Each structure stands twice: as C-alpha cells, then as structure tokens.
Amino acid sequence: MEADFVIVGAGSAGCALAYRLSEAGASVLVIEHGGTDAGPFIQMPAALSYPMNMARYDWGYRSEPEPHLNNRRLVCPRGKVIGGSSSINGMVYVRGHAMDFDHWAESGAEGWAYADVLPYFRRMEHWHDGGHGGDPRWRGTDGPLHVTRGPRANPLFHAFVEAGQQAGYQVTGDYNGEKQEGFGPMEQTVWKGRRWSAANAYLRPALSRPNCDLLRGLATRVVIEDGRATGVEITRAGRPEIVRARREVILAASSINSPKLLMLSGIGPAAHLAGHGIEVLADRPGVGGNLQDHLELYIQMAASQPVTLYKHWNLASKALIGAQWLFTGTGLGASNQFESAAFIRSRAGIAYPDIQYHFLPIAVRYDGKAAAEGHGFQAHVGPMRSKSRGRVSLRSGRAGDAPVIRFNYMSHDSDWDEFRTCIRLTREIFAQPAFAPFAGHEIQPGAELQSDDDLDGFIADHAESAFHPCGTCRMGRADDPEAVVDRAGRVIGIEALRVADSSIFPRITNGNLNAPSIMVGEKISDHVLGRAPLPRANDSPWIHPRWETAQR
C-alpha cells in the first residue's frame, strides 16, 4: 500500500504513465475502480456500441438537463474498467491539428506547442499504414500503441473520399501526418483484430514488471499534509484505506473524476467547497470549469443498393461475424467500421479545419439502434471548436455521489451557425456524382427541413455528444487564477500532486481525444522523472495556401 508514485485511474494517460515511470525503475501503484477488460464486448472492435452502454464498464454519467437542447440529459460515458475510456471508445485515432497545440502554448501551456508534442506522438506510436499511402516521416514505428487502418473494402468508403474531391476539397493520405485537411482513410487503435487499448499497449507490459501493481478500489480523496500530497484514501470492500505515495500522487481519473477528486480533497472554488462542508486547502476557481466537448449529428442517407452493413444487422449474421473474429481475429468484427474520414474548414478565413467527419456504411446510432428504414449510410459531423463552456461540480461531499455535469451545449450563437453549415455542407457532399450509384433519399434530417429554423429544431432534438469531454483542470501559468495545473501538470498551490489526462487540455483538440490523452501521459512522465523533454521537431504542417479567401 505504498509506492514512489500513486496513479489514480488506469485510463489512457494513467496507463502510459505507469509504463514510463516503472520503466525508469520507480515503484508505481495504479488505483482503478473498474474491473477487467477481458471478453469479446471490449476486445472485438466491431462490438464498440456494447461496452459504452454497459454499467459494468461505464460510470454511467449524464449531463444535467441542457437548456439549449430541449432540456435533454445527454449521456457522458467514461470508462470504469482497465484501460479507462480507451477500452470503451470508438478506437478512432486522431492526434489533433498542429495549430491546436500551438494555441495551448500561446494560452499559457508553454512547452506544449506542436513542435514540443510531435516527438511524443512519434514515441508512443507503432504505426502501420496497411498500404494506404500514409506519411511515414511524421509517424512513429516502435512505440507501444499500434495504429492501423481498416481494409476499406466497402465501396462506400471510397465514394465518400471521391465525393469530397468532386466537391472541391483536398484529399489527404494521412490526417495524422503533415496534412490534416481533406478526405482520406481513418486510423484506428486496432492490432491483429483486437482493440489496442491503453491497457493492452501500456498497462499489461507495465504490470509484468515487479515494481508496478494495480489496486482495485474507489479513490475518495487525496491525502494532503502541510500542503503536500502524501497519499490517496480509497474504499475497498466498503472500508477506507490509505495508499501512501513516497514521491507524488498523479490524478489520471478523467475530465469528470479528476476535478471531482480535487474538490473532494479541498482544492477548487472556495465557496463551492465550503458549501459542501469541505475544508479549503487551495482556492482554485478553475477546478471543474472550462468543460468542453464535441457535439455531432448523424446525417443519414438511404442506400439504393444493398451494399451497407445493414445486411449483417441480424442475430445469425452477428453470430457468424463474432465466431469468425473469435477463432481467427479477422472479418468484419476486426474493424470499428470507421474507415474513411474528413477534416474541412467551414468557411474562408479559418486557418485550419473546424469540422470533422466520421463516415459509416450503415445508418445506426451509437447505442446500437439501426435506422428503421434498412440499408443506409451516414456521416457523423460536428464543429470542432465550440465557444460554449460548462462545468463539473460536486453534488455533495460524498465520493460515492456522481458529480453535477453541465456542458452548457449550444449556449453560443456561433454554435448554431456552425451546425447548420455542417448539415448543408454534408448534403452537398452526398449529392456528388460519386454517391449517385448508392444514394437514395435523406433519412435524417430529411430533405423537407431546409430553413434555419427547421435545422435548428433538428439540432436541438438530435445533437449528441461525441464523448470528448476535457478541459476541467486547465493547464496554464502559475499566476493565472483560472489555471489548475502548471505546464508540468503540477497542481498549483499543492506540492507532490499532478493531474495528467484530458482535463488539463486548455482547449479541445481537433478530432477524437484518445491520442492526445495518451500523449499527455507520455509527456508528463518525463516531467515527473525530471528528464529533459524530447528535442523539438521542426516539421511544418500543411495549411491551405488560400485559407483566407477560400473555404475549400
């Protein structure tokens, strides 16, 4: 019950930290409330809609009623399992755009510009382009995290990219390389037909070392003595215990649970903590604030040919796919089916993409409900940099109570404008000649919805979270009252305590958050160990030469 480093959370960043700190010879204890990730629901990529909706693997969080989305309570899945959210996510691998990280550095996270983080993306990756024409100069080839591409056998994957080209957009062979902007193949954390989670990539190798252990328990607070974190209080089998940290405590418990733990430990907005009877040890008003997420819509088209995955949407076919995957690790079960993607700009004057597409050759929801109309396909689309901000706060002073999560979605006028643009640009792409052999009528929103008011009503009814919450323990300068951690992840005002997960993002990145979350674990590990950062990269990303005057 004692180690050099105690890490709370066996998720994306926590697993990377455990691997790097134990590799350096330090003793590490990882505290995780969730259980095993064994079993086909997690390990089979095509089964991704199951673990996300299972209480066994998910904390089951929901937002408070969102006033701008007809008071709907949106689900906010977070992994409660070995591997954290990397064990229940869609396995999509996106680093983010270079300018995202440059913005981090400009907003106070010095040392986190793209030139600083690119070497860590390279260090963590074992990239396989699968013959799809990637960008090897920008990629890593011997890291723990396998990154692959799906077979793209379905003709709809190619129709999507071709339609983008016909509409006048760029094509990119590797959105994680020099050029994010454009249409091209999507990457996934899948290896040899299995979900390659942070648990498979980092935690299992770390646990094979004698100096790294995993402890099952619910972290209830950080133990702080004389302004220094000395351990973590956990509940195991209904009883409280103290896990001691000789050197540091590191919270990697997610953008929902890390701020919650800080507040339960007396670190956060003073009045809020006092209102719950918690002694204030560090008044940090930014704890729980700056909450951001990506929202998305599913633009669904009926298919005029039976080429979609709907033909497998029956028990017999699912059983065959499952059996093939179980015995050979191949077939439709071995891919998340997100095999084509795009990043585009919504209008001229925006320097880098602010809209993301995931393309899927079936019309289906994240909760596994297929479109009633049968064969279809869809694009998940949404803006990348909403100005709306929310907050995570305490419901009570008890660790067992879920926090209050208010995203404040669509609270900024520009959100509505951006989403209407997303719908109209997607309709234009689906109207291109490449889709002519495949596209029937529009299932959702439905061609009759055309006016701004019509589309706003659809957005309010149907926008869903893309499950990318972040920003609630924002990294910044020590004299910034809203910053929670400094550029090394150290909690401002408390010694020997760090946060290392997506909660430290100053601003949300372009695309899915698993890759930058793992990168945070990799980079913070060097800070913890007192090592010089990896040498800065001098690669220059592609920016559209006419971005000031052209949308595409």
Long-range contacts of 101-104 (CB under 8 A, 24+ apart): 101/509, 103/506, 103/507, 104/475, 104/505, 104/506, 104/507
Whether 361 and 308 have beta carbons less than 8 Å apart is answered as yes
H or E element at residue 370 = none
Q: Is 89 annotated as a binding residue?
A: yes
Q: Is 126 tagged catalytic?
A: no
Catalytically annotated residue among 33, 380, 468, 544: 468
Q: Residues 194, 200, 201, 207: what is their CA dihedral angle, to the nearest 10 degrees? A: -160
CA 98 to chain centre: 17
Q: What is the largest CA-CA distance in the chain?
A: 70
Q: What are phi and psi of 82, to 5 degrees?
A: -60, 130
Alpha-carbon gap, residue 473 to 254, rounded angstroms = 10
Bridge partners, 378 (sequence order): 300, 360
Q: Is 510 annotated as a binding residue?
A: no
CB neighbour list of residue 204: distance below 8 Å, 6 or more residues apart: none
CA 371 to chain centre: 26
CB neighbour list of residue 375: distance below 8 Å, 6 or more residues apart: 302, 303, 305, 306, 307, 308, 310, 311, 363
Residue with tokens 């880098």: 352
Angle, CA of 24, 25 and 27, to the nearest 5°:
120
Whether 184 and 175 have beta carbons less than 8 Å apart is answered as yes
88: number of CA atoms within 13 Å, CB side?
A: 30
Alpha-carbon gap, residue 420 to 141, rounded angstroms = 40
Alpha-carbon gap, residue 447 to 377, rounded angstroms = 16
Alpha-carbon gap, residue 3 to 248, rounded angstroms = 9
Q: Is 507 exposed, middle or buried (0-12, 13-18, 19+ CB in 10 A)?
A: middle
Alpha-carbon gap, residue 172 to 161, rounded angstroms = 9
Q: Is 381 annotated as a binding residue?
A: no
Whether 337 and 331 have beta carbons less than 8 Å apart is answered as no
* CA dihedral for 539, 550, 180, 130, sign (positive or negative): negative
The residues assigned a catalytic role are 468
Binding residue ranges for FAD: 81, 89-92
Binding residue ranges: 81, 89-92
